[in-house]
Structure formats: C-alpha cells, structure tokens
Structure 1
Amino acid sequence: MIDFSNTEYLQHINYLRSKPKHLLRDIGDQWRTPDALFLAINELYGPLVLDLFSDGQNNKCPHFYTESDNALAQDWAQKLQEIGGGGAFANPPYSRAKKHKGSYITGMSYIMKHTIAQREKGGRYVFLVKVATSEEWWPGEKADHIAFIRGRIPFDLPAWFSPANKRQEVTTASFGIAVMIFDKTWTGSPISYLSRDVLLNRGMELMNELKEPQTLVIAA
C-alpha cells in the first residue's frame, strides 16, 4: 500500500495553507464549489454521498477522500457499495499530471481514465468540469450525459485564503462549467442545458430550507 500522505503535491498545498497571506495565483486548483450549486445538482442527480476530491474541510458529502487518500488509488464503486447507496461528486483538480512512487495523483486525463473504469464497475459519478472540449482529457461520448450550464459559474475562495493586498481581495472566480454524468444505467439524453440562475436560485432555496427550524410533531 502506497502512502500518499506526504506527496510533493500535498506538501505544496500545505505550504500555501500555512502562508499568512496569499496571492490569487496561489489558489490554483483549490477553488471551492458553491454550496448553492452543489445542493441544486444534488437534487437533480443525487443523492450524492461521496466527495472524490476534497481537502477535508470543503467536502460537500458526508463521505470523502482527501489529497492524502489519493482518489486515483481508490475503488469508488466499492466505496459506494459500502456506504449503501447514492452517487459520488467531483470538482476535480486541474493540476498538471503528477506521480508519487509510480502512481498518478493528479492530471485530468488520468482522472477521467479512472472515472470511466469505475463507471464500468457500477455507480454514478457526477462531475463539475470546465467546458474545454478541445482538451485531450475531455471525455465526449464516454460520458453518459453532459449538461452544459448557460452562464459562468462563480466559485468560492478556499477557506485558508487571506489576501496579501487589495488587488487580491476578490470573493469569487467565474468559469464556464458543465455537469458530467458517468453512469452506465443512464437512460436519458446524452446532452442537455441548464440555467446558471435557475440552479443557483434553487440552491439558495434549499439552503434556506435547511436553516429553517424543524417542527416536532408529537402524536396524541
């Protein structure tokens, strides 16, 4: 069993987290998925119970892998079976491909290769990915469904980010995003379109519902 708890990639991330102040370029692939967006996607394609790429603090699901687990060394399909139902969620890192002791830990091509292999074993894998149809890693028809989101999606700063100066004081960054579904039991259309505003508004509604106090009903 390879120990992934001290890879060069993780060392660099821990170094960034330990810095007292940061530049926007420090964020790299650490932009966070907005809660409202996740809740809306979870309602559409969930329940999503396993976050494949988290830092242990920004996970969107009750079960998750961190960088020290190396999701590319894990059996996602088996984990979903152990959990007892539901799908997996991923906002994957876009770092250049890196290895640790011969095993890939980053690289979108290798992430997609592992995802397709896990799909064959069973389970649903719901990805948020940048719209990059010209990139070699873009899976195209190997994805069972691609939902293109109309409108750029604002992603959140990581919790550890502390701006070094006024020029670094932004609260979000916007990207063109698609939702990709890998699920060999999918029976819907291969392509659809979603509205950013509808998704985020629905997500905010769900967030507000979660904040509302629950009324305890006691039977007579």
Structure 2
Amino acid sequence: MTDCTGSNTPADQRDLWRTPPAIFFALDAEFCFQLDAAAALHNALCRKFITAAQNTLETPWADYLNVPGYVWMNPPYSDITPFVKKAAAESANRIGTVMLVPADTSVGWFWEAIQTASVVRFITAGRLAFINPVTGKPVSGNNKGSLLLIWKPYPRTHCEFTTVDRDTLMAYGNSRLARREAA
C-alpha cells in the first residue's frame, strides 16, 4: 500500500504497509495484472506501475496497459473513496481493477463501490499481515479483515458477493512464489 498523496506523517504510516506477496501472486494467477496503480519504486508488484508523483487519480491507466486488462491496487486506507471512484471510471474504459481494502461494509466508499463493482470477495478465516515498509516483516495485529473489490473490464450486470479462505489464498500464492524463486 502506498501513500499516493505523498504524505508520510505518523498518522498515515499504515498507508505505507505493503501487500503480502503471497496474496498478490495468488491473485495475479487469476487476473494477470499489467499495472500496479498505487506503488513506489521500492514496492511495485508489476513491471508497470504508477507512483505518488505520477498521481494515479489523474493518470489515464490505459497509457500503461493493453485494454482490456487488469490493474492491481492496494490504496492508502486513510482515504479509499477517490480510488474507488477512479476504478469505477476506468472500468468504463475496459480496464478491470482488483482492489485490496479493509472489510468494512459500514463506510461510504463500500456503498459506492458496490454500485459499480462486479464482485466483492471477502477474505475469510483470518486477517492479513501486511508488510512493514521499513523492516520488511509482516505486521501482526491488523484490526480488520480484508476484502477485494473487483471491477471487470466489461459491462457490469450485477455485483456478486463471494468469499475466499485466507490460508488457501496464501498457500497458493506461496507455491507460486516458490516456483518463481526456483526458476
């Protein structure tokens, strides 16, 4: 997760927490991500990425990928709404987005997301341990679960609610990482 506003105050330190690699690699097997739309030079998960300086909220994502295609995004959790709006707008351009966010259905950005997203996938049976950007180690004590908001790169007919087991997702991602490192 990258702070796309360029702020780096202690209040938004959690905005800098990184996606657990196993989660990304498990989802990449399904979606074949072409772009990490909220990244920094040191933590980009795709070859093509957009940094805070490039401002993902203003940059046309089609400049970075083949359309139709998928974008990965772990937005700053301090202000998710503009990233939901951006993913919804880009879906009209045949760009799909998979966004990792807290599992909180009581907030305005969640209601806004389900108006345009194709899938809400709750990660069940445990919380994710995000990666501390300074130590590179997993951070325990995440106080919320996580979910994936998925905008598909073709016209939406409805919003489907599904689940995926955290440990199954992590095991699959870790097996992909192990094969990658062995190659």
Q: Normalising by the residue count of structure 2, what TM-score does the alignment of the two structures yield? A: 0.84
In the TM superposition, structure 1's runs of 4+ consecutive aligned residues that sit over 4 Å from their partners are 186-189
Confirm whether residue 202 of structure 1 aligns to residue 176 of structure 2. no
Amino acid corresponding to residue 120 of structure 2 in structure 1: I
Confirm whether residue 153 of structure 1 aligns to residue 125 of structure 2. no
- 1:107-122 superposed matches below 5 A: 107-122=79-94
Deviation at 1:85, TM superposition (A): 5.9
Aligned alpha-carbon RMSD (Å): 2.4
Deviation at 1:79, TM superposition (A): 2.8
Match of 1:131 in 2: 103
Amino acid corresponding to residue 142 of structure 1 in structure 2: T
Retained in 1: the 8 A contact 2:35–2:49? yes
Match of 2:147 in 1: 178
Deviation at 1:76, TM superposition (A): 1.3
Aligned residue pairs: how many?
173
Cα distance, 1:26–1:134 mapped onto 2, change above 3 Å = closer
Cα distance, 1:188–1:32 mapped onto 2, change above 3 Å = same
- 1:7-26 superposed matches below 5 A: 9-10=5-6, 12-13=7-8
Deviation at 1:200, TM superposition (A): 0.4
Retained in 1: the 8 A contact 2:35–2:70? yes
Gapped regions of structure 2 (runs ≥ 5): none
Q: Normalising by the residue count of structure 1, what TM-score does the alignment of the two structures yield? A: 0.71
Deviation at 1:126, TM superposition (A): 0.7
Retained in 2: the 8 A contact 1:144–1:184? no
Cα distance, 1:86–1:132 mapped onto 2, change above 3 Å = same
1:110-150: CA deviation from partner (whole Å, max 9, x where unpaired)? 22112111111111111111111111111124210111110
2:159 and 2:152 map into 1 onto residues whose CA distance is: 12
Amino acid corresponding to residue 93 of structure 1 in structure 2: P
Confirm whether residue 27 of structure 1 aligns to residue 10 of structure 2. no
Deviation at 1:29, TM superposition (A): 0.7
Cα distance, 1:26–1:75 mapped onto 2, change above 3 Å = closer
Deviation at 1:28, TM superposition (A): 2.6
Amino acid corresponding to residue 54 of structure 2 in structure 1: D
**Deviates further, 84-93 or 141-150:** 84-93
Percent of counterpart pairs with the same letter?
A: 28
Please say which structure displays the higher CA radius of gyration.
1
Amino acid corresponding to residue 16 of structure 2 in structure 1: Q
Amino acid corresponding to residue 74 of structure 1 in structure 2: T
- 1:19-168 superposed matches below 5 A: 27-44=13-30, 46-81=31-66, 86-95=69-78, 107-138=79-110, 139-150=113-124, 151-158=126-133, 160-161=134-135
